[in-house]
Structure 1
Amino acid sequence: MDLLTNPFASIEHLVIWLLIGFSVVTWGLALVKAIQFNRLKRQDRKFLAGFWAATSLDSAAEQVQGRPGAAAHLAQAGFAAIQVGEPGQPGDLTQAINHQDRLERALRQQIQRERRSLESGLAVVASIGSTSPFIGLFGTVWGIMEALKGISAAGSASLETVAGPIGAALVATGFGIAVAVPAVLVYNYFLRRLKLTAADLDDFAHDFYSLAQKSAFKLILHPGAKRASSPVHAPVKEAI
């Protein structure tokens, strides 16, 4: 039975359609991740230009509120960790924690949040790249089994009888390889971009730490000023 007229005629055909679905998922995720990384790069470049143009840490703190991007979120978390009220004013219990430790923990946790956000979807692509050849091989083995049964029933082992069914069964392996290769390339490409982005965030965190160190890890929050808060992220599901 032809694949187009009856796509669910056999296990082999189901395997091929499954691999086609994997290919659609791979290219869809590749498009989504490309948009995500490119947008993040533009946001970080714009934010860092404004941040380093600030005349002081106080003026830089006023610029980060509501700004998008991983670097902006990192700065927001850092400012939230070192902000304190006016001298002599009562503070909450968090003010009793060493501000240097608070800042280190806040920066480290925020970098991990950004990494989890950028990693979403990559595990799916990696799984497709690693399993597609085996799924295709399963379709081929099943097709060969069915072909051998047909040859046995026909009682003939001529080249015409064997070559056709065996050749058709090998199509599934070809599909598996064709799906796996782009998936592996997409995964490796975005994994490298993830590492570069994380390295840039680490560098900015070190620079931010040095700036905060000059102010004794404290940023005075004047009356009426808006307290910076750590960026709120929706829970990121761990990729399977």
Structure 2
Amino acid sequence: MDLTLAFKSGDVVLIGVFLSLIVMSIATWCIMIWRFIALQKAKSSSNAIDTAFWQAENTEAAEKLIQNNDSPIAELVRDAFFARKQFADSQQKMLSASLPKSDFLEREIRHSYTKILNRYDGGLSVLASVGSTAPFIGLLGTVWGIYHALISITEKGQMSIAAVAGPIGEALVATTIGLFVAIPAVLGYNFFTRKNKMFARYLHNFAHDLHVYLINLKD
């Protein structure tokens, strides 16, 4: 089946449908590859820093360890250490510093934790949109193609199976392509949503341990 016929003989609507599905498919695979690489990098770098951080001899050694590291764990620790110093230096100058130290650190760590996790939600809305709309866009192309195929057949007066099967078969390809675009997007969305939840639990556990450590750390 020659898909180029849709571009050679199709009108603006049918061509727009196929181009939209092509763009959606490219965007879906680019986002999934990008998200997979970013998530794997974040997990591996965070695991390494997590282990090294708790094995550090003292706080100074831990701060040097995370100084130039770009992992999520290192960023969370930097923000927590900065909040601890900020509380000590500005206790009488900041409204937020009037909170107990534990509550202040918990708030700042939670803000950092949320900021980090928000970066790993990027692209999920696109996958969800593609997964929900691609089948309907493909169906639109099919309905539109069948409509024009039947009009063309009626005008030519050819009602044989051979005359009907070809144009309608070409029109049905739009629905098939829509499904081929939507299925990877839905699977990718579910996969990355689950992976993000697992990473969020890991980061939350580390943030809790870090909060406890900083509360018990002597000034």
Counterpart Cα distance in 2 of 1:98 and 1:59: 27
Which of 37, 40, 43 is 2:42 aligned to?
Answer: 40
Q: Deviations over 1:99-135 (max 9, x none)?
A: 2121111111111111110011111111111110000
**Aligned AA for 2:151?**
K
Q: 1:210 aligns with which of 181, 205, 212?
A: 212
User: 2:7 aligned with 1:7, yes or no?
Assistant: yes
| Separation in structure 2 between the aligned mates of residue 102 and residue 61 of structure 1, nearest angstrom | 20
Classify the secondary structure of the residue corresponding to 2:120. helix
Q: Does the C-alpha gap of structure 1 residues 7 and 155 become closer, same or farther in structure 2, counting only changes over 3 Å?
A: closer
Task: Give the AA of the match of 1:4.
Answer: T
Deviates more, 1:123-132 or 1:154-163: 154-163
Q: Which moved more, 1:130-139 or 1:57-66?
A: 57-66
How far apart are the structure 1 equivalents of 2:93 and 2:54? 32
Task: Indicate conservation of the 8 Å contact 2:6/2:14, yes or no.
Answer: no
Cα distance in 2 between the residues matched to 1:190 and 1:6: 34
Alpha-carbon offset, residue 60 of structure 1: 2.5
- Name the aligned partner's letter for residue 166 of structure 1: I
| Cα pair distance change 1:90/1:167, threshold 3 Å | closer
Report matched runs for 1:51-70 at 5 Å: 51-70=53-72
Partner of 2:135: 133
Which residue of 48, 70, 73 maps to 1:71? Answer: 73
Q: Which residue identity does 1:209 align to in structure 2? A: H
**Aligned residues: CA RMSD:** 2.3
1:149 shift after superposition: 0.9
State the Cα deviation string for residues 146-204 of structure 1 (Å, max 9, x = none): 01111221233221222111111100000000111111111111111111111001000
Structure 2-normalised TM-score? 0.88
CA distance in 1, matches of 2:161, 2:44: 61
Distance verdict in 2 for CA 1:59–1:3, change over 3 Å: closer
CA distance in 2 between counterparts of 1:26 and 1:117 reads: 18
- Equivalent residue letter for 2:93: L
Shift in Å at residue 91 of structure 1?
A: 5.8
Paired position in structure 2 for 1:104: 106
Q: Secondary structure at the match of 1:68?
A: coil
Task: With a CA cutoff of 8 Å and minimum separation of 6, indicate the structure with the bigger relative contact order.
Answer: 1
CA distance in 1: counterparts of 2:102 and 2:204, whole angstroms:
17
The list of structure 1 runs, each at least 4 consecutive aligned residues, that deviate by more than 6 angstroms after superposition, is none
The separation in 1 between residues aligned to 2:86 and 2:165, in whole angstroms, is 79
Q: 1:92 to 1:4 in 2, by over 3 A?
A: farther
Identity %: 36
* TM-score after normalising by structure 1: 0.81
CA distance in 1, matches of 2:160, 2:90: 93
Contact map agreement 2:120 2:196 (CA 8 A) in 1? yes
- Distance in 2 (CA, whole Å) between partners of 1:205 and 1:185 is 30
Q: Which has the higher helix share?
A: 2
Find the aligned partners of 1:103 and 1:179 in 2 and give their Cα distance.
45
Quote how far apart the aligned CAs of 1:59 are.
3.9
Question: Paired residue for 2:157?
Answer: 155
| Closer, same or farther: CA 193–90 of 1 in aligned 2, 3 Å | closer
Distance 1:98 1:62, change over 3 A: farther
Aligned counterparts of 1:64 and 1:70: Cα–Cα separation in 2? 10
* Unmatched 5+ stretches in structure 2: none
- Would you say how many aligned residue pairs link Structure 1 and Structure 2? 214
Range 47-56 or range 4-13, more displaced = 4-13
The aligned residue for residue 175 of structure 2 is 173
